[in-house]
C-alpha cells in the first residue's frame, strides 16, 4: 500500500479516497525487511544498551541474520504454524527473531521481559509453544517452568552460558546459511499471538494474520503527520512485546523503511529518554501518557537538550490541554493521541496537520476503519448518546482472526457485525470520539490494560492470603493503580512487612506492572449471593 497522499489536504477527503488493497499473498518479513535489503546502506536499527554499547544494523544485516535464524529454526524441526515465544527486551535479536519467524510461516508470541514465571507458564502452555527465544536474565524463569510445558522442545539463548540443552543463538546463526526463501503466505495466514488481559478468567491470545500490519498503516501515517518524511527516525520506550511497541512503531516504521532506535531500560528515566532523543535525532516518538507526565516534570528542557522532534504519538488515556500545550512549547511537537486495542488496534486518532486536536477527545476514525457507539443490542446510537465503542469488520485487515483456542471468547467479542471494545464512549456531532470508562473490570494503568483475575490468582497462592479482590484506584500519574483488598488467613495480622512481602510475591511471579501498588487488609469482602466478589462495591470505595 502507498502512503496516504498528503496533497488530498483534508481529513474528509482522505477518508473518501481511501481504499484497502490487500494482496492475496503477503508476508510481514518481506514487507518490512526483504524489500528494503537491496540497498546495502539503508539503516534499519540503531541499538544502545544500558551500559552504553552501541550498534547499528542495515536492512540487509537484519535480513541476513533473520535468514540464518529461519534456517536454524527449520533445522530444529520448527515448521509453518508452530508457535514460538520471544521473551526479550528491545534489542536487535528481538526484531531478528520476529522477521525469521514470519519468514518461516510460523507464529510469534511476544512476551514481556517483565513477566514472571506464572505469567510465562500460562501463555506458553496455552499457545503450545514449541520453542522459546530468551536471554540470560530470563532463562531462570523459563527453566523453572519448563517441566510444566510438554510442547516446549527448544530454547534459544541470546547471551549467557547454556545450563542444559539450550541452543546458543549466535553460534547457531554462524553455522547457518544466510539465504532463505521467505514463505509465500496468504495475507490471512496467522502470524502472531499477542496476549491481552481478560475481564474474567485467564488472559486471551489474540491471533493476528500477516495482513494486520497493513491495517495499522493509516493510523501510523496520520498520527505521525504523513510519515514517512525525509529524516524520520523513530523510538518508543514501550516494550516490543506489547502491540504498542511492536505494531505502533517497529513494524510500520520498517514497512516504510524508517530507522528505529532500540533501547529499553529496566526503569524509565526521563533524562535518559531526552538524551537519546537528542543523540539519535529522533523525529517520531511514541510515548505513553505516564512517560510524558514524567518527562513533563523536567524543567528547562529546551535549554538542556537539543531536540528536533517532528511528531509525538500517545495513547491509553486522555492527556488534557495542559499536557498538549506543554508538548508544543517544551518538546516542539504536537501530540497526536490514538485509540485501539490488542484485537483491533490503531483505529481512532488525530493528525494535527489536518485535524484540530480537541483536548480530551480521542480523535476520529482513521481511514479504512468503521467505528461507532452501539447499545446493548448492537444498534448504532446517535451523536451525544453514551454506549459501547465498537468496530465493524468488513474488509478491515487490522482485525484479529480469533482468540487462540478460545472460540467462546471470540463469539462473545461480537454483537452481530460489531466487535465490542468493552469501553464506553460518546461520538459528538463532529465525529470525534470521547472515552467515558470501562464496562468491565479491566484496569488501565500507565497505558497497560490489566485483568484482575490473574493478579487475584497470584495473590491467593501466597500462604498469608485467604481471599483477594483487585480493582483500579485513581492515580494522578498513572491514571489508575492496581489496589488489592485482602482478607488474611486466620491468625495473621496486617503489617507493613507483610504488605511488602505480598507485593514482591506478585511482582516476582506475575509481572512488575501488575503488582498491587496499594494493599488494604479487610475483615470481609463484599460477596454476591452466589459467592462472587462484588468488585463494583470496592471500586465505589476508590472513586472508580
Would you list the DSSP string of 410-438?
Answer: HHHTEETTEEEEEEEEEE-TTS-EEEEEE
For 518, counting Cβ atoms within 10 Å of its Cβ (0-12 exposed, 13-18 middle, 19+ buried), the class is middle
DSSP string over 301-313:
HHHH------EEE
Q: What is the pLDDT of residue 529?
A: 42
Q: Where are the alpha helices (DSSP H) in 347-484?
A: 407-412, 452-460
Q: How far apart are CA 423 and CA 388, in angstroms?
A: 6
For helices 496-509 and 452-460, angle between their N-to-C axes, nearest 10 degrees: 120
Q: How far apart are CA 271 and CA 152, in angstroms?
A: 41
CA-based nearest residue to 482, from 537, 539, 416: 539
Class of domain 443-541: alpha beta
Q: What is the pLDDT of residue 539?
A: 75
Q: How long, in residues, is the chain?
A: 544
Q: What is the pLDDT of residue 501?
A: 96
Q: Where are the alpha helices (DSSP H) in 224-319?
A: 243-245, 251-255, 270-279, 289-295, 301-304
Q: How far apart are CA 81 and CA 102, in angstroms?
A: 10
Nearest-5° angle of CA 64, CA 76, CA 132? 80
Mean pLDDT taken over the chain? 92
Residue 418, φ and ψ in degrees, nearest 5: -105, 130
Q: What is the pLDDT of residue 345?
A: 97
**Which residue bears the cell 507526565?**
293
The set of cell numbers assigned to 451 is: 485483568
State the DSSP H helix or E strand holding residue 460, giving kind and residue range, or none if neither.
Answer: helix 452-460
Q: What is the pLDDT of residue 532?
A: 53
**CATH architecture observed for domain 20-26+59-209:** 3-Layer(aba) Sandwich (3.40)
Domain ranges of the chain: 20-26+59-209, 443-541
Q: Where are the alpha helices (DSSP H) in 299-385?
A: 301-304, 320-326
For helices 452-460 and 117-127, angle between their N-to-C axes, nearest 10 degrees: 120
Low-confidence stretches of the chain (pLDDT < 50) are 528-531
Q: Around 18, how many Cα atoms within 13 Å sit in the side-chain half-sphere?
A: 24
| Residues in Cβ contact with 411 at an 8 Å cutoff, skipping those fewer than 6 apart | none
Q: What is the pLDDT of residue 435?
A: 86
Q: Which residues pair with 195 in a beta bridge?
A: 205
Q: How far apart are CA 541 and CA 544, in angstroms?
A: 8
Strands (E) located in 185-276: 190-196, 204-209, 234-235, 260-262
Encode pLDDT of 440-460 as tens digits: 777 888 878 787 877 887 898
Q: What is the pTM of this model?
A: 0.85
Amino acid at each position: 500500500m502507498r502512503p496516504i497522499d498528503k496533497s488530498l489536504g483534508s481529513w474528509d477527503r482522505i477518508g473518501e479516497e481511501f481504499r484497502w488493497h490487500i494482496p492475496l499473498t503477503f508476508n510481514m518479513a518481506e514487507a518490512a525487511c526483504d524489500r528494503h535489503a537491496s540497498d546495502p546502506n539503508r539503516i534499519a536499527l540503531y541499538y544502545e544498551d544500558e551500559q552504553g554499547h552501541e550498534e547499528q544494523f542495515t536492512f540487509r544485516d537484519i535480513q541476513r541474520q533473520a535468514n540464518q535464524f529461519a534456517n536454524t529454526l527449520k533445522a530444529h524441526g520448527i515448521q509453518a504454524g508452530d508457535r514460538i515465544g520471544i521473551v526479550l527486551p528491545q534489542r536487535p535479536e528481538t526484531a531478528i527473531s520476529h522477521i525469521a519467524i514470519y519468514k518461516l510461516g510460523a507464529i510469534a508470541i511476544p512476551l514481556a521481559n517483565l513477566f514472571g514465571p506464572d505469567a510465562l507458564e500460562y501463555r506458553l502452555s496455552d499457545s503450545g509453544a514449541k520453542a522459546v527465544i530468551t536471554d540470560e536474565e530470563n532463562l531462570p524463569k523459563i527453566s523453572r517452568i519448563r517441566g510444566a510445558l510438554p510442547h516446549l522442545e527448544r530454547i534459544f539463548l541470546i547471551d549467557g552460558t547454556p545450563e542444559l540443552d539450550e541452543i546458543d543463538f549466535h553460534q547457531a546463526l554462524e553455522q547457518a546459511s544466510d539465504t532463505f526463501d521467505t514463505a509465500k503466505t496468504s495475507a490471512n495466514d496467522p502470524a502472531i499471538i499477542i496476549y491481552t488481559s481478560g475481564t474474567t478468567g485467564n488472559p486471551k491470545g489474540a491471533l493476528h494474520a500477516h495482513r494486520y500490519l497493513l491495517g495499522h498503516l493509516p493510523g501510523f501515517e496520520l498520527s505521525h503527520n504523513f510519515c514517512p518524511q525525509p529524516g524520520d527516525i523513530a523510538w518508543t520506550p514501550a516494550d516490543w512485546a506489547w502491540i504498542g511497541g511492536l505494531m505502533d512503531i517497529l513494524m510500520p516504521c520498517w514497512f516504510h523503511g524508517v530507522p528505529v532506535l532500540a533501547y529499553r531500560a529496566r526503569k524509565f528515566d526521563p533524562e535518559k529518554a531526552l538524551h537519546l532523543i537528542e543523540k539519535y535525532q529522533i523525529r517520531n516518538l511514541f510515548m505513553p501518557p505516564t512517560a510524558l507526565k514524567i518527562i513533563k516534570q523536567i524543567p528547562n528542557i529546551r535549554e538542556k537538550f537539543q531536540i528536533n522532534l517532528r511528531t509525538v504519538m500517545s495513547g491509553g488515556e486522555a492527556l488534557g490541554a495542559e499536557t498538549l500545550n506543554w508538548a508544543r512549547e517544551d518538546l516542539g511537537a504536537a501530540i497526536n493521541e490514538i485509540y485501539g486495542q490488542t484485537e483491533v488496534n490503531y483505529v481512532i486518532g488525530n493528525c494535527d496537520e489536518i485535524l484540530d486536536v480537541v483536548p480530551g477527545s480521542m480523535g476520529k476514525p482513521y481511514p479504512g476503519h468503521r467505528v461507532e457507539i452501539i447499545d446493548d443490542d448492537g444498534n448504532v446510537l446517535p451523536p451525544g448518546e453514551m454506549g459501547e465503542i465498537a468496530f465493524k469488520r468488513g474488509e478491515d485487515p487490522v482485525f484479529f482472526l480469533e482468540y487462540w483456542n478460545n472460540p467462546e471468547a471470540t463469539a462473545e467479542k461480537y454483537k452481530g457485525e460489531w466487535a465490542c471494545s468493552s469501553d464506553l464512549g460518546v461520538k459528538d456531532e463532529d465525529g470525534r470520539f470521547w472515552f467515558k470508562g470501562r464496562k468491565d473490570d479491566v484496569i488501565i494503568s500507565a497505558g497497560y490494560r490489566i485483568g484482575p483475575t490473574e493478579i487475584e490468582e497470584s495473590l491467593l497462592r501466597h500462604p498469608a492470603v485467604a481471599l483477594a479482590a483487585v480493582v483500579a484506584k485513581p492515580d494522578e500519574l498513572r491514571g489508575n493503580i492496581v489496589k488489592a483488598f485482602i482478607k488474611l488467613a486466620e491468625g495473621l495480622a496486617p503489617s507493613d512487612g507483610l504488605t511488602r512481602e505480598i507485593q514482591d510475591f506478585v511482582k516476582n511471579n506475575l509481572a512488575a506492572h501488575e503488582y498491587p501498588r496499594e494493599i488494604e487488609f479487610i475483615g470481609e469482602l463484599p460477596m454476591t449471593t452466589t459467592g462472587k466478589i462484588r468488585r463494583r462495591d470496592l471500586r465505589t470505595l476508590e472513586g472508580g
